[in-house]
């Protein structure tokens, strides 16, 4: 599966089906099929999706099952209603649910970091996206407790994962005995007190999705709060630096992936808020983000075969800095598909 094209290069670096990014490429192919109705994309999407089948049968190894199997099999089932896809999704949801700790109220994100980092129970903001797998499964043949797990995770995260200004920590570490929060820290952001751009984007997207799935107004309210600080601190071109508090702004790497994720989320959020002026604002900001990403500065065009340039993966680790990254392309394409639907007066149906 394609993962990234490093800055200055023009060839994809590939990874195995077990990589957390493995679901984004088949997900892109499904969006291409949806947009064009070209059977070529259907064939390719099915082929690459099926490569991920073994993951669903493995014991839950981390939270990324949603990224891997919902973007692939989920989009595939939405468009084809293939019962084989549905079976994989339901199995994956059951696997993800095994990582839920009821004492704490969240899913364990990184089991490997319990001993490696000394984080007894760790939950990362990225995990909000994987809750969609549980919500969907609970409505499509899986047990209702999957919805309860997803809602509990979202509410616990809402309580513990955010600072008073609604900026998100990347990681929250919990005590497995008391169930209480030990600390909030960063892993891929600049510092424990900074606002990591992609983490905030995950929060905007995640709570918008939670409202869609539950219609619980507290999730809609919170999505607007976490979107508010993100929008307030954006640079003029609407594409954030990799961390809003990085020390050398404006000489810091941008993160086009965060812009793409947020643009897609804001398009959906604009359809939920009742205040028409606020809805217009979210739609306008999303379109401005997409216009920026579609400009010669950020769209790859003849530079390489990705869709976007200038994303940042793990800056503190020196990984994927100012690169083309597959998940940036996925959310960019998703946002364009959503915008196209809105422009022709179609409702944004549930993703799956």
| Residues that are catalytic | 64, 126
Q: Three-state DSSP class for 136? A: helix
Residue 68's nearest CA partner among 134, 22, 137 is 22
Ramachandran sector of residue 159 (left: φ over 0; alpha: ψ -120 to 50; beta: rest): alpha
Cα-based angle 301, 4, 136 (whole degrees, multiple of 5): 100
- DSSP letters of 8-43? T--SPEE--TTSTTTTHHHHHHHHHHHHH--HHHHH
Q: 181 forms bridges with which residues in the sheet?
A: 174
Do 266 and 285 contact (CB within 8 A), yes or no?
Answer: yes
Tell me how far apart the alpha carbons of residues 266 and 203 are, in angstroms, rounded to a whole number: 12
Residue 300's nearest CA partner among 326, 266, 336 is 326
Burial 220-251 (b: 16+ CB within 10 A, else e): bebbbbbbebbeebbeebbbbbbbbbbeeeee
Tell me how far apart the alpha carbons of residues 288 and 352 are, in angstroms, rounded to a whole number: 26
Do the bridges between strand 171-174 and strand 181-185 make them parallel or antiparallel, or are there none, so unpaired?
antiparallel
- Report the 10 Å Cβ neighbour count for 43: 12
Structure-token pair, residue 273: 């808020």
- The residues, ordered by sequence, that sit 6+ positions from 297 with a Cβ below 8 Å of its Cβ are 237, 309, 310
Placement of tokens 């009742």 in the chain: 274
């Amino acid at each position: 599966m394609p993962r990234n094209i490093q800055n200055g290069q023009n060839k994809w670096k590939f990874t195995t089906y077990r990589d957390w990014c493995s679901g984004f490429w088949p997900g892109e192919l499904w969006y291409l099929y949806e947009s064009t109705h070209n059977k070529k994309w259907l064939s390719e999407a099915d082929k690459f999706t099926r490569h991920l089948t073994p993951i669903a049968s493995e014991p839950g190894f981390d939270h990324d099952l949603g990224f891997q199997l919902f973007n692939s099999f989920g989009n595939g089932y939405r468009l084809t209603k293939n019962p084989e896809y549905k079976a994989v999704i339901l199995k994956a949801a059951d696997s993800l649910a095994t990582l839920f700790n009821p004492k704490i109220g969240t899913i364990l994100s990184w089991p490997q970091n319990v001993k490696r980092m000394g984080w007894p129970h760790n939950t990362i903001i990225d995990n909000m996206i994987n809750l969609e797998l549980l919500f969907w499964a609970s409505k499509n043949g899986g047990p209702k407790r999957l919805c309860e797990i997803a809602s509990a995770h979202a509410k616990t995260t809402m309580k513990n994962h955010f600072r008073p200004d609604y900026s998100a920590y990347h990681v929250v570490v919990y005590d497995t005995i008391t169930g209480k929060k030990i600390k909030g820290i960063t892993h891929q952001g600049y510092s424990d007190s900074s606002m990591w751009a992609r983490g905030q984007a995950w929060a905007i997207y995640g709570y918008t999705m939670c409202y869609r799935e539950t219609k619980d107004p507290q999730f809609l309210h919170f999505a607007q709060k976490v979107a508010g600080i993100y929008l307030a601190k954006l640079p003029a071109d609407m594409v954030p630096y990799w961390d809003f508090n990085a020390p050398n702004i404006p000489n810091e790497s941008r993160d086009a992936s965060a812009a793409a994720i947020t643009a897609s989320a804001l398009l959906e959020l604009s359809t939920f808020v009742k205040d028409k002026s606020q809805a217009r604002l979210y739609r306008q900001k999303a379109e401005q983000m997409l216009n920026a990403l579609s400009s010669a500065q950020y769209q790859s065009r003849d530079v390489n075969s990705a869709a976007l340039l200038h994303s940042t993966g793990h800056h503190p680790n020196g990984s994927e800095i100012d690169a083309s990254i597959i998940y940036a392309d996925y959310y960019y394409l998703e946002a364009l598909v959503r915008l196209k639907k809105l422009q022709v007066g179609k409702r944004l149906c549930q993703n799956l």
